[in-house]
């Protein structure tokens, strides 16, 4: 499991010429960092004197951000597996017609996984942006900048995951699924971009 | 050393209610991931058949991106130390006038470090953006999306580091240094934002 290696080892592996881990794994970890920062704001705020009124809201945000952190952490390994599956399919023999058919089918199956995994990552990151907004509005002012870093991280992870959807979806023979995936990611990007800029501005105002 | 803990342990520590690691450490790691992805694009491109012409350029980029990756990795620990120093200064006694004077001096000294550290991080991330542009223009098309993720990561890390400069600089008594720090970070943000959007667009275009 790649997330059980040290941060420095992960950075070494990322920098290496090996095809995985790459941008997809980096996106999932950056998204998980965004979720973790939202949880941090909740954890510092919960139980703080004078902020009792926001306790239930912060607890509700934390429950969701911790769930998304676990999902995004799991997506790191899923991204590597999807990518390696696709690479293995491309390496299948293509000598006979039967070979070619098998190879095409394997490529299509793994390509679908390599589109669904970043799409899942993008969805989770869009949810983290929404939670960062709630944390930024209600969290303790002393750690509000952490909600700002959290929303930037989630937005960058969303845009990074979107790149992989854009790369893989066009080669899918299932055009209906491909178009749906692209349409969904564009919607997530549009809403996520607007929302994350609003949260960053809110946080800058509250931390000035 | 925080970067020698596992990715999952780092995420747990980030999510906890402990004040460090927080957004500053997350920014440095995200910046280091940006630098690592630039190095990855270089490592995959160098020696690639048909791309011999860009070898010297990719080697020059990699030398710089690896240097910046080491610098940003070191900044994770420096950020935690600067933050903890500042917290310790705030906790100093303030009973006598002598106490108060000592405390004020300690706060000013540590506040300067807590402004310089994110400023250093912002500078390094701005350089990573420049390198991602060179990698995005010349790197092997098969991994060009990794340059896109790299530039988004570096830009988010720059904006995150900037938040900490904005938070700490206003309390500095040395107004000249504080204003210089804010002016520099605004310049880095302005240029970095424009440049990273251009690289993202370039990468989207090259990755189909």
Task: Name every residue whose Cβ is closer than 8 Å to that of residue B53 and which is 6 or more positions away in sequence.
Answer: none
State which residue of chain A sits closest to B164, comparing Cα positions.
A145
Provide the pLDDT for residue A10.
97
- Region B178-195 average pLDDT: 98
This model of the complex carries an ipTM of 0.96
Chain A residues closer than 8 Å to B207 by CB: 163, 166-167
pLDDT, tens digit, for every residue of A92-143? 999 999 999 999 999 999 999 999 999 999 999 999 999 999 999 999 999 9
Report helix, strand or coil for A49: coil
Q: First-to-last CA distance in chain A? A: 41
When CB atoms are compared, the residue of A4, A8, A149 closest to B27 is: A149
Q: Is the pLDDT of residue A144 over 70?
A: yes
CA distance A155 to A194: 10
When pLDDT is cut at 50, 70 and 90, the band that residue A208 belongs to is low
With CB atoms and an 8 Å threshold, state whether B152 touches A160. yes
pLDDT, tens digit, for every residue of B39-56? 999 999 999 999 999 999
CA nearest neighbour of A26 among A154, A160, A185, A151: A160
B36 and A15 Cβ atoms separated by less than 8 Å? yes
When CB atoms are compared, the residue of B26, B44, B66 closest to A153 is: B26
Residue B174 dihedral angles phi and psi, to the nearest 5°: -75, 90
CB atoms within 10 A of CB A4: 12
Provide the pLDDT for residue B208.
61
With CB atoms and an 8 Å threshold, state whether B23 touches A146. yes
Task: Name every residue whose Cβ is closer than 8 Å to that of residue A12 and which is 6 or more positions away in sequence.
Answer: B36
CA distance A24 to A31: 11
Confidence (pTM): 0.97
Mean pLDDT of chain A: 96
When CB atoms are compared, the residue of A76, A166, A204 closest to B166 is: A204
Q: Is the pLDDT of residue B207 over 90?
A: no
């Amino acid at each position: 499991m790649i997330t059980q290696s040290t941060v420095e080892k992960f950075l070494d592996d990322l920098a290496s010429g090996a095809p995985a881990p790459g941008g997809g794994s980096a996106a999932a970890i950056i998204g998980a960092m965004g979720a973790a920062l939202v949880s941090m704001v909740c954890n510092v705020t919960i139980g703080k004197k004078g902020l009792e009124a926001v306790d239930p809201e912060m607890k509700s945000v934390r429950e969701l951000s911790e769930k998304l952190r676990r999902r995004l952490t799991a997506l790191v390994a899923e991204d590597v597996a999807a990518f390696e599956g696709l690479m293995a399919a491309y390496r299948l023999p293509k000598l006979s017609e039967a070979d070619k058919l098998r190879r095409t089918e394997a490529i299509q199956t793994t390509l679908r996984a390599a589109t669904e995994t970043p799409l899942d990552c993008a969805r989770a990151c869009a949810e983290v942006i929404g939670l960062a907004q709630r944390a930024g509005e209600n969290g303790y002012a002393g750690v509000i900048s952490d909600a700002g870093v959290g929303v930037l991280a989630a937005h960058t992870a969303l845009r990074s995951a979107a790149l992989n959807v854009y790369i893989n979806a066009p080669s899918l023979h299932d055009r209906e699924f491909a178009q749906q995936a692209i349409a969904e990611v564009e919607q997530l990007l549009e809403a996520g971009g607007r929302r994350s800029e609003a949260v960053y501005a809110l946080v800058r105002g509250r931390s000035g």
